[in-house]
């Protein structure tokens, strides 16, 4: 696939900016290639490639915020089209969501191919496993995020539809084709299960994967697939390894950006399992004064719910509105990684769907009690049926994971398959009303036109 040439050029550019001698010298991967396990670990420690700019454009198309016309007109064409679900194919369209994710895939493949050439010995087996498991994790995470944007929702009726290109080789002369949706998800889950046997339980830094984050990612993938047995299985495995929930009473809501960042003395907050951030769209930046939180969503938070004060700030120009500031990164970018709060919500939903109501609500309450003011105002959630419990869990999931990667966009896609939970999105710009019905073709983004021209892969229909 021809895009790999561009990806390698990007990786070379990144490498030349670094002070590391190995990366400076081995800038041409066609002539000078990495040769040791340490070399490959250095490649995987390129957090500016492997932990950065994950696909997140779908969040602009979701329903967490609204724009007024004057602010809408200041955005890039990509953001404007995403916000209004524009159906046209624009030549020259370039999504960093696509190119950055395939940069992760390309670098992971270079590492995996290189590892096949290194003999495993008693002395290097531990490092060899960690590096291979990490590369499989990064590639799977990129594939999963790409599938949320550029392929239809996984469902029994879509398994043979077009998924994404599943690149498993770095040679640009090997032509790629789009895999089916079934093949796409099989590759993601198979590689992640393989990675589980290779990764350490705990990573030394948040940018490296571990068993904790791999089990969390598997739970996330299976939830999206509607496989609630495996979603419960892997979320339970992840929580058995690590289940610390951050008490929001310890967070200072007076800070402009309440959560600690990776450069702080304490590091990221204690819930984070894997560090990653999304593509840097203006309308998705925390503290953006133009992306106003949906009023109904904001009002759904109890006044004793600390998320209401921590996640949002109030602005009064031109009218009183609310904007998001609660990124788990502790900065203005979208947190696209994995954290314990999402794992608890995955297990709670899976348990509810499996009819295990009391266990589902126990998980939800374990999380929610740490979100409420410690003044005794928290009343544990109760439900008489698993369906009632599921409604409560889904409502809290939306409130808890607002602006967490593609969570809301992915949830809209999968919940649209259920007639009682499907929604039609509506917004108005310049007195024109736009709508997005459930399961519309526009829930799948167009592949960049440059990619179509270079590789010849099939475009998504409109």
For residue 346, give the CATH number of its domain: 1.25.40.390
Task: Say if 352 falls within a structural domain.
Answer: yes
Residue 67, Cβ neighbours under 10 Å: how many? Answer: 23
Q: Which residues pair with 433 in a beta bridge?
A: 428
- What's the token pair of residue 181? 């949706």
Residue 209 domain-assigned? yes
Residue 396 belongs to some domain of the structure:
yes
What's the Rg (C-alpha) of the chain?
A: 22
Residues of the chain short of pLDDT 70, as ranges, are 1-32, 88-93, 287-288, 317-318
pLDDT at 264: 80
At 293 the pLDDT is 96
SS percent in the chain: helix, strand, coil, step 5: 45, 10, 45
Residue 167 belongs to some domain of the structure: yes
Specify if 301 maps to a domain.
no
Q: Which structural domain range is residue 217 located in?
A: 3-249+337-455
Q: What is the pLDDT of residue 27?
A: 32
Q: Which residues touch 259 (CB under 8 Å, ≥6 apart)?
A: 251, 268, 269, 326, 327, 328, 329, 330
Longest dimension (CA), the chain: 69
Residue-level pLDDT at 318 = 67
Percent of the chain with pLDDT over 70: 91
pLDDT in tens, 404-449: 999 999 999 999 999 999 999 999 999 999 999 999 999 999 999 8
Whole-prediction pTM = 0.93
Q: Is 431 left (phi over 0), alpha (psi -120 to 50) or beta?
A: left
CA–CA distance, 428 with 241 (Å, rounded to integer) = 46
Give a yes or no: residue 425 inside a domain: yes
Q: Number of folded domains in the chain? A: 1
Residue with tokens 């991967």: 29
For residues 80 and 40, what is the distance between their CA atoms, to the nearest angstrom? 40
Phi/psi at 456 (5° precision)? 80, 10
Is 307 contained in some domain?
Answer: no
The answer to the question of residue 294 being in a domain is no
User: Which pLDDT value is given to residue 114?
Assistant: 96
């Amino acid at each position: 696939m021809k895009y790999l040439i561009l990806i390698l050029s990007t990786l070379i550019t990144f490498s030349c900016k670094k002070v590391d001698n190995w990366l400076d010298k081995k800038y041409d991967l066609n002539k000078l290639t990495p040769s040791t396990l340490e070399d490959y670990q250095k490649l995987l420690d390129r957090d500016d490639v492997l932990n950065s700019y994950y696909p997140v454009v779908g969040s602009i198309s979701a329903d967490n915020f609204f724009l007024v016309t004057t602010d809408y007109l200041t955005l890039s064409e990509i953001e404007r089209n995403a916000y209004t679900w524009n159906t046209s194919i624009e030549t020259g369209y370039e999504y960093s969501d696509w190119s950055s994710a395939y940069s992760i895939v390309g670098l992971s493949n270079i590492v995996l191919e290189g590892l096949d050439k290194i003999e495993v010995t008693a002395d290097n087996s531990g490092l060899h496993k960690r590096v291979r498991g990490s590369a499989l994790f990064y590639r799977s995470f990129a594939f999963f995020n790409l599938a949320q944007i550029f392929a239809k929702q996984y469902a029994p009726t879509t398994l043979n539809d077009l998924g994404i290109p599943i690149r498993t080789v770095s040679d640009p002369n090997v032509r790629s084709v789009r895999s089916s949706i079934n093949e796409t998800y099989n590759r993601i889950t198979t590689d992640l299960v393989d990675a589980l046997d290779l990764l350490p339980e705990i990573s030394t830094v948040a940018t490296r994967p571990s068993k904790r984050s791999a089990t969390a990612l598997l739970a996330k993938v299976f939830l999206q697939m509607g496989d609630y047995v495996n979603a419960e299985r892997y979320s339970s495995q992840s929580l058995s390894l690590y289940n610390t929930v951050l008490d929001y009473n310890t967070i200072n809501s007076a800070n402009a950006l309440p959560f600690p960042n990776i450069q702080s003395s304490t590091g990221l907050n204690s819930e984070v399992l894997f560090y990653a951030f999304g593509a840097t769209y203006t309308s998705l930046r925390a503290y953006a004064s133009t992306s106003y939180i949906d009023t109904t969503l904001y009002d759904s938070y109890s006044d004793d719910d600390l998320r209401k004060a921590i996640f949002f700030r109030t602005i009064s120009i031109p009218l009183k509105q609310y904007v998001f500031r609660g990124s788990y990164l502790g900065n203005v970018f979208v947190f696209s990684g994995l954290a314990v709060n999402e794992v608890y919500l995955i297990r709670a939903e899976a348990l509810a769907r499996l009819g295990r109501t009391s266990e589902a609500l126990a998980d939800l309450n374990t999380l929610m009690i740490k979100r409420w003011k410690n003044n005794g105002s928290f009343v544990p959630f109760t439900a008489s049926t698993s369906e009632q419990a599921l409604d409560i869990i889904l409502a809290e999931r939306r409130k808890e994971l607002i602006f967490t990667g593609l969570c809301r966009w992915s949830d809209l896609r999968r919940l649209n398959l259920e007639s009682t939970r499907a929604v039609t999105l509506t917004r108005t710009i310049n007195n024109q009303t736009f709508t997005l019905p459930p399961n519309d073709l526009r829930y799948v983004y167009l592949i960049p036109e440059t990619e179509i021209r270079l590789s010849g892969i099939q475009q998504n229909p409109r």
